[in-house]
Structure 1
Amino acid sequence: MLRRFLPDRFTCALLLTVLLSSVLPCRGAWATAFGWLTDGAIMLLFFLHGAKLSRQAVLAGVTHWRLHLVVLTSTFVLFPLMGWVLRPLLAPPVTPDLYLGVLFLCTLPSTVQSSIAFTSIARGNVSAAVCAASASSLLGIFITPLWVGAMLESRGGGGMSWHALGEIVTLLLLPFVAGQVAQRWIGVWVQRHRPLVGVVDQGSILLVVYTAFSASVLEGLWKQVPLPVLGGLVLICVVLLALALLATCHGARALGFGKEDEITIVFCGSKKSLASGVPMAKVLFAGHPLGMIVLPLMLFHQIQLMVCAVLARRYARRGEAISPDEGDTAPAD
């Protein structure tokens, strides 16, 4: 149980990257070079995701449309509404820029890999989880920028600029479409080399985090985020996750879903994607303090992994108690 609450290697790498950017931030020509390198990594990331995402899996999801509608509603409607409605209660402990990051977190798509993994461990409907998480990831490319544009306009920022829309198309959408087109030739190879996608996935996140925090540190990030503010941000993330878990769990039961579908809804409808969020933040929040924007997402990411790991095991134990004659088919972590 204690191991569940310890950070994994990637989280440690994130912490080290933040530490490195705080001690040795990139600036000048190095910042420009890292910016180009980060853009290339993001394009490669979305190309590989396009090549990996099965069109058959997304199309198959139409047969279980009620479940997917609930997951998408939780991801793209419930979360943003919670962020806006609870703003008078949650915003005071943090700065306006940090709460903008919280609102951005609320607009992001669900995770793919961890949603499926936790659903499998908990003995949920894995095939439905694959479809729901994939559809969420795909739709997030379009829905998240719309939400961000509305947020910026409400803050008097003029909404989404044409430059930002162009970067979304260039860095996110076109590489993803190219990956889908190339899937017939490289799809099997990508599936066989999933660790490669993981390296690009995590590497692009670390690059964005390093450049984002470098710029923010040079602008005085840690002077603006003392420990009490950081503690308030952690509390906000815990509250949002707890409300999402309660809403998806009781909502699934009220709508008459079975236990397997309930598990899928809980794990796919309550999570937010760091892999999609960090690259999107770089594109959508040009000119904003990017370190402030991605910090809530980084904290939420680790909290959701720790909580969902415990929750998945609890679901699995309940399944074993109901059907003690069945073997444990949940995969190891």
Structure 2
Amino acid sequence: MPEVKSQVDPSDASPFTRVRQLAQRAGLDGFLLALLGAILLAYLWPHFGSDDGPLPLNQIANYGVSIIFFFYGLRLSPEKLKAGLSNWRLHLVVQTTTFLVFPLLLIAARPFFDTGNQKLLWLGGFYLAALPSTVSSSVVMVSIAGGNLPAAIFNASISSLLGVFVTPIWMALYLPNGGHNSSLWGTIGNLALQVLLPVVVGVLLHRWLSAWAKRYDKQTRYLDQSIILLIVYTSFCESFYRGIFQGYQLTSILLLGVLLLALFFGVYAWILLVSKVLGFEKGDTITALFCGSKKSLVQGTVMSKVLFPDARLAGIVLLPLMMYHALQILIASIIAQAIGRRAAPEVPVPEPVAGT
């Protein structure tokens, strides 16, 4: 008797399962929903997570910065970085787009954000533009679309390391005066202690602890995400508690979303044009598109603790990054899966990883 393959009809799935699958297709995974929940909690109970709150949550979050980057260095393979050095034209396109094209576009838009409230939104947008590319989600998108995966791993890793230096250099031009971090060297010094040193220690220990880190990769990533949620929560608590969001209308937030959408597609079109002019093959073009158009929520959230010591400003500065993250996950997921289906429709497509 021939074997009958049982298939589950999607219509037979529970309502919860169908909602979860729909949310995943839209890029709304559990971590992204948890971020939105952290902001809601900060709005409802801002005092608890503020500097005047009963627990030193901000100090705990500061220590969490170093923990996140230690584990990042532990996962970083020096061998993979060496193997990716040869494709220099692709790397140049990705890194110049990430650290030069993005900031210049925001500088060009600065005259349109002249008023007091709008200036803070622009500062948040510029901070977003100065950040490095994502790591995990860029690699996942390239894998889904069938791009050059080794080059994606190389570019995502190098971008994160460069961001430790390049992001504060850009931000030093526009950081508010008065804080100890308004000094460029002071900012780089703090980043060196809280970010670069843990990365270096992690890389040095990679040879001995990488197997352990790989075995407990799921647990360490949950720890990373928990620290990020704490940073987001405390940042928005302080902003809500001090009334920083007063004066911002819903129309301003919606307009910001439209502008961020235009920024994504503008950079995407730029990379597509440059890749065509340089004669990139399809795999390299895909890698350039997904590595060059994305920004890291992880590093943006973590570095904000060092770059913006005034916790009152952190929430509003992080708002454009949070919105861009949601948009890039949604749009890039749709595009990557469409490219992947055209290239190999018989291969099942994995879900993207949000938040990295």
Task: Provide TM-score, normalisation by structure 1.
Answer: 0.91
Post-superposition CA distance 1:269-313 (Å, at most 9, x none): 000000000111110011261111101000000000000011001
Q: Aligned partners of 2:57, 2:146: CA distance in 1, in Å?
A: 42
Within the candidate set 59, 66, 71, 1:36 is matched to 59
Given the alignment of the two structures, is residue 238 of structure 1 paired with residue 261 of structure 2, yes or no? yes
Within the candidate set 310, 328, 331, 2:347 is matched to 328
Q: Aligned partners of 1:99, 1:311: CA distance in 2, in Å?
A: 28
Of 87-96 and 283-292, more deviation after overlay is shown by 87-96
**Gap change, CA 1:264 and 1:235, over 3 Å in 2:** same
Given the alignment of the two structures, is residue 315 of structure 1 paired with residue 315 of structure 2, yes or no? no
**Gap change, CA 1:258 and 1:91, over 3 Å in 2:** farther
Return the index of the structure with the highest Cα Rg.
2
Hey, what does 1:304 align to over in structure 2? Answer: 328
Given the alignment of the two structures, is residue 120 of structure 1 paired with residue 143 of structure 2, yes or no? yes
Instruction: Count the aligned residue pairs.
Output: 327
**Gap change, CA 1:145 and 1:264, over 3 Å in 2:** same
Q: Which runs of 5+ in 1 are unaligned?
A: none
Q: Aligned partners of 2:51, 2:102: CA distance in 1, in Å?
A: 38
Q: Percent identity?
A: 37
Q: Is the 8 A contact 2:245 2:316 kept in 1?
A: no
Within the candidate set 90, 94, 112, 1:71 is matched to 94
**Gap change, CA 1:296 and 1:177, over 3 Å in 2:** same
Of 287-296 and 66-75, more deviation after overlay is shown by 287-296
Once the two structures are TM-superposed, the CA of residue 11 in structure 1 deviates from its matched residue by 1.3
Q: Is the 8 A contact 1:123 1:330 kept in 2?
A: no
Once the two structures are TM-superposed, the CA of residue 91 in structure 1 deviates from its matched residue by 6.7
Hey, what does 2:303 align to over in structure 1? Answer: 280
Which structure shows the higher helix fraction? 1
AA aligned opposite 2:41: L
Of 172-181 and 111-120, more deviation after overlay is shown by 172-181
Given the alignment of the two structures, is residue 102 of structure 1 paired with residue 118 of structure 2, yes or no? no
Given the alignment of the two structures, is residue 17 of structure 1 paired with residue 17 of structure 2, yes or no? no
**Gap change, CA 1:94 and 1:117, over 3 Å in 2:** farther
**Gap change, CA 1:31 and 1:213, over 3 Å in 2:** farther
Post-superposition CA distance 1:189-218 (Å, at most 9, x none): 112222123112211211111111111001
**Gap change, CA 1:68 and 1:46, over 3 Å in 2:** same
Q: Aligned partners of 1:332, 1:5: CA distance in 2, in Å?
A: 10
Hey, what does 2:29 align to over in structure 1? Answer: 8
**Gap change, CA 1:93 and 1:47, over 3 Å in 2:** same
AA aligned opposite 2:218: P
Q: Aligned partners of 1:220, 1:62: CA distance in 2, in Å?
A: 48
Q: Is the 8 A contact 2:124 2:316 kept in 1?
A: yes
Post-superposition CA distance 1:5-53 (Å, at most 9, x none): 2622111111111111111122355476101210121111000000101
SS at match of 1:275: helix
Hey, what does 1:146 align to over in structure 2? Answer: 169
Hey, what does 1:177 align to over in structure 2? Answer: 200
Q: Over the residues paired in the alignment, what is the CA RMSD in angstroms?
A: 2.3
Once the two structures are TM-superposed, the CA of residue 92 in structure 1 deviates from its matched residue by 7.2
**Gap change, CA 1:215 and 1:318, over 3 Å in 2:** same
Q: Is the 8 A contact 1:94 1:232 kept in 2?
A: no
Of 155-164 and 215-224, more deviation after overlay is shown by 155-164
**Gap change, CA 1:140 and 1:5, over 3 Å in 2:** same
Q: Aligned partners of 1:97, 1:141: CA distance in 2, in Å?
A: 22
Structure 1 runs of 4+ with >6 Å offset: 90-94, 155-158
Within the candidate set 49, 54, 63, 2:72 is matched to 49
Of 85-94 and 24-33, more deviation after overlay is shown by 85-94
AA aligned opposite 1:289: L
